[in-house]
A and B are shown apart, each in its own frame.
Chain A
């Protein structure tokens, strides 16, 4: 067989529904082969560096085992608490915004629009995704400065007359969420739209025949069917939040120091490593963040069955 016809696929699927599992061993060998290239990269640029970081977190710069002392040391640092509070506020806003809005927009674009128009919208939403790091921070420095912003009317209406008022410490999580959403949401809308596109038309057609409105079929059919994607997005968005670094760092530089250089925990880890020369403390701090991410990921993965290939 060379070409896969959709009808043939369906036919085969039903015909062979209960005959799986025969070629398991053969597939096992091939599986190793297929993952070999990736596994090497994972080992060299993922596992070994992570392992080394874990080693660093439990030792001191003499290589002596220190138990939890590194963790206690960084947790007692005066910048530890504020950084984690900052990132917590940021994460809550960021997760809610990115998950709810990108899913909502993808559903609207998929259900309410002609594909051509939807493509235009997706492109417009995506454009900022091309601006990362320096570019996005720079653009937002101008957007948030009442003296030069196209939205200065809005900023003044909110009570901000100059840039230093906008950059007040309590506004920073919002600003960073804005930047992250501006650059990151477009990509996720594309992914979610693709996922929704994957839902067979017949399923939606059936729902329509049953009298379901667009919101109902979105809530009861589309969203449950792209659940895996949403879980995946949540884990990644959470991890990206805990790893926040480049944006606050550049904001700190470009705002002439109005933002604390240790605003986010990852920045604090960087300061530990490269300014204090304390790579062990930096590693311990990173393990804190890793643990946080792992707890969330474990909950999401076990609740959603993300890793299940099929019923086992």
Chain B
């Protein structure tokens, strides 16, 4: 920051009131437009199961149908292939939570070490991580599939949990968090005080890392929950599908997207919308609970000079 720019700001005092209004106006406009953009489709989605597929097209898009229609959509959805949607949800939960635990164990420690310890190969590891993250997934499917097959994991929950727990995004989050927010000198001080490396990590870094742990726990969970590609390609049986792949199957059973889908299935747009709402509920609940952790004041007062 330079003093000259700030001085310039002070010199404009008379015109400030006008510019203040303009600036508040711009702020309000941006926020409101974005709220509409982000929320309107969600409202539409929430209202969709209250109507029939026909009403969805003929009535005002943001009108409310009836609760009995929601009940009917629910009945149709639950009777699709004998309640398979609950199996999909259960599978998603197993895959997401299982790999979340592994992700936390590996990425918090790794991010910490990359940011605050020095060891040969540190930069290499950072670089390779980045390269791998940029690699397009289509090329990695075949090798990953062959590896999973080599370890006899195809068809087991591990074929999803293990690849999911590789979460370089999380490692980077932790790395940048520690690199920008935790002074190395603090750790040096602790070491001089006689702490060993594990104690330094566990007693000093971890308590300060709560927000970022919450952050990666959240992103990892959401990522796992929403991942479509890997389970779609790797899982051999429809009983093992997570909800995202299940939604795709519902989509291809909906007449509006696949004209020759069976009439007896009763899966139409409202049922699909209801399935989507059910599929995203866990993510929203987790978000609400982790909201505080995500942005709580981090290490206030400690500066890096």
Residues of A within 8 A of B (CB): 1-4, 6-7, 9-10, 12-13, 15-17, 19-20, 22-24, 26-35, 37-39, 41-42, 44-50, 52-53, 56, 101, 104-105, 108, 112, 119, 121-135, 138-140, 142-143, 147-152, 182, 185-187, 190-191, 193-195, 197-198, 200-203, 207, 210-216, 220-221, 228-229, 232, 235-236, 238-239, 242-243, 245-246, 250, 253-254, 256, 265-267, 269-270, 273, 279, 282-283, 285-287, 289-290, 293-294, 297, 301, 306-307, 309-310
Contact = CB atoms under 8 A, between A and B. Distances in A.
B44 A294 contact: no
Interface of B: 1-3, 5-7, 9-10, 16, 23, 27, 30-31, 34-35, 37-45, 48, 56-57, 61-62, 102, 105-107, 109-110, 112-120, 122-123, 125-144, 146-147, 162-163, 165-166, 168-169, 171-173, 176, 179-181, 183-186, 188-193, 195, 197-198, 201, 203-204, 207-208, 211, 215, 219, 222, 226, 228-229, 244, 247-248, 251-252, 257, 269, 272-273, 276, 279-280, 283-284, 287-288, 291, 294-303, 305
A122 B290 CA distance: 12
Given A19-B185, A207-B6, 10 more contacts: A10-B301, A23-B188, A38-B106, A42-B125, A47-B132, A108-B27, A129-B287, A190-B294, A256-B257, A267-B138
14 contacts: A3-B207, A4-B207, A31-B113, A37-B110, A47-B132, A48-B147, A124-B35, A130-B222, A131-B45, A135-B247, A239-B133, A266-B138, A269-B138, A286-B140
A297 B130 contact: yes
Given A50-B135, A309-B115, A150 B295 contact: no
Contacts of A283: 139
Nearest to A195: B180
A200 B117 contact: no
Q: Residue among B135, B172, B229, B299 with the most chain A CB within 10 A?
A: B135
Contacts of A17: 185, 305
Contact of A148 (B56, B112, B248, B279): B56
Given A31-B122, A34-B109, A148 B61 contact: yes
A256 B257 CA distance: 7
Contacts of B134: 235, 238-239, 242, 289-290, 293-294, 297
B188 A19 contact: yes
A187 B284 CA distance: 12
A7 B127 CA distance: 36
A238 B43 CA distance: 30
Contact of B118 (A24, A35, A50, A297): A24
Contacts of A273: 138-139, 141-142
A13 B183 contact: yes
A53 B143 contact: yes
Chain A: interface secondary structure?
A: helix
B202 to A, nearest CB: 11
Contacts of B184: 20, 309-310
A143 to B, nearest CB: 5
Contacts of B143: 48-50, 52-53
Contacts of A105: 30-31, 34
Contacts of A28: 117-120
A40 B31 CA distance: 44
A214 B26 CA distance: 13
Contact of A128 (B38, B106, B123): B38
Contacts of B43: 150
A47 B113 contact: no
Contact of A143 (B41, B163, B183, B296): B41
A53 B56 CA distance: 46
Contacts of A48: 143, 147
B279 A135 contact: yes
